[in-house]
Structure 1
Amino acid sequence: MSRLVVEGVSKSFGATKVLDHLDLDVPNGTAAAVVGASGCGKTTLLRVIAGFEGPDTGSVQLGSETVVRQGLCVPPQRRRIGYVAQDGALFPHLSVADNIAYGLRTGLRGAVDRQRRGRDRPRVIELLAMVSLDPDYADRKPHQLSGGQQQRVALARALARKPDLMLLDEPFSALDTGLRATTRQTVADTLRAAGMTSILVTHDQEEALSFAEQVAVMRAGRFTHVGPPQQVYHQPADLFTARFLGDCVLLDALCEADIAKSVLGPVPVQPGAPTGEVTLMIRPEQLAAQVIGADEPHSGRVTAVDFRGPDVILTIDLAEGAGTVRVRRTGIAAPITGDRVRLSIHGPAVAYCPLRSH
């Protein structure tokens, strides 16, 4: 079992508190993502879990073993944790096979080492297959690989030790957009096939939402929301989390029971929403815009069209000076600048205590 439990972990560097009493529970075999802006503390959390940093307070438990608590800090090499850094950190002078064999704790010197290489070869080929690389990559040097291939080799090297937990520290951030997506999918599939618990640290919201079954949004050393990706995106705990994870349409509304009344009409909101005046949060893709011939209730005029290939972002001035909203929709037969459109909302919104300045 490789369930990870972090309880009450704090860490300061001088007068700066980087981690502030963090709790995190990652079930066995689950892929989790910690997402936040640069400097929020996410990499420090990873380093504490790995054993590269010691916390000021708190504990870390992996499976049935406590690896950090007051008076105890198990060394990194004894934690059965794999670690993949942003640049992969491959040894440039070694072949792919020898880089992976390093994870198998084989020696790399002299005649005995050549014998070990021969014994390790089947396992190296097996690990290459796990990360979707052909056997002929084994004899290449890192500089002969693409960035995505280097990251897969780094993952294979980390997997060689058969860790209980895999830590991924922004491993895709240096890759091009298309390569980033395919490499991320390969890594995610590999870890799921191995049934391995993993934590991805990233500043990329889309990456966190697509990779993980559990997402933790971090701000200034604390988690603002931890939960399944669909929940943290559609029902964020606060407006910071909502804005960090994607574009938001914010409207003033009046909430009664489970319905909020706004300039776009009535819309259902989350259970237990505040009543009275609220700020309503709607994702742009929840809005539909239908071209009409004249102004009418719940309508507006398209003032800008931002074409993004498969979809467009429409900027719409609402009727009667009620403000501006942005709508995301398919780019096929989209409204054009100047069109009048009727707006409707699909799905529930999230109501927060009123925020006067949007």
Structure 2
Amino acid sequence: MSSELLDALIMLEKEKGISKDILLDAIEAALISAYKRNFNQAQNVRVDVNPERGSMRVFARKDVVDDVFDPRLEISAEQARLINPNYQVGDVIEIEVTPKDFGRIAAQTAKQVVTQRVREAERGVIYSEFIDREEDIMTGIVQRQDARFIYVNLGKIEALLPAAEQMPNETYKPHDRIKVFITKVERTTKGPQIFVSRTHPGLLKRLFELEVPEIFDGTVEIKSVAREAGDRSKISVHTDNPDLDPVGSCVGPKGGRVQAIVNELKGEKIDIVKWSKDPIEFVANALSPSQVEEVIVNEDDKATTVIVPDNQLSLAIGKRGQNARLAAKLTGWKIDIKSHSDAEKLDILGSGAMLEDHKLPVEELE
């Protein structure tokens, strides 16, 4: 063991933030274990590490007794006084028992301990960094793929993109750059494990924060998100500024802002609607792009019956019920859609709020 040990410990303290004293304590504990393992010793020993001199010495600690029963742990008072006449029964004496070839074992052990502690410290730094980024968005590079995961390089660590969190309309190739939403950060025995998603509604919200300055600074608020990843999504937006159009802010000049998000999501259609605390207006907005004639509200069941023109029924319901399903997720209200003709037969026309002359602030990107 050379005197370079001290310099190495000081360097690690500066670069990795690992205390020199903590490393020395860990080295000493490891050396005790190595001594007992390599030299078949079970006695009570202490290892003294002197980084300035680069020396490591092993001392056996023995109790001074009248009658010795275990020579590995005890020494007679007579023998102890040969070393130092001041020793009395009950004292603890330390005798150096450093083996001749202990230097080689010590150097190897110290290296292993330092390497392990550095690895642990680096894992701790990575975990601390990424635990603060849960529910945040990051750009990564696709590395490889197996049956369970796509591995995405986030710079300091590979994140796991599970099959269930991959968009059905996407294929992922090595070296592709993709934006991912961090769903979970776990501390494991092998280091931190990061799980990411491309289908989470939070990804859509974060993308709008990146593209729309008014959302980023809080002037416009995303109130709710409903998403069927890879196909269609709806978001509701609101602002307290009467001079600002929240929907127009999200769409951007010539649709540029929302188009950038659509491109990132490989063509996923996005409906942007104006949020309202009035469920009648909000549900009607959420059923964009269909027209709505009337909304009947049942507050107790948090349910609505929506009447649409006959030629708008299929549009309101959407392919495989998607439009109605997303609108219900977005608003938190149950939605039952009826055509004008069916409403007449059921004699429910005029029992709700009429929206024929109400221009709804709805935008959709086709």
How does the TM-score come out when normalised to structure 1?
Answer: 0.27
Larger Rg: 2
Q: Select the structure that is richer in strand.
A: 1
How does the TM-score come out when normalised to structure 2?
Answer: 0.26
Q: Select the structure that is richer in helix.
A: 2
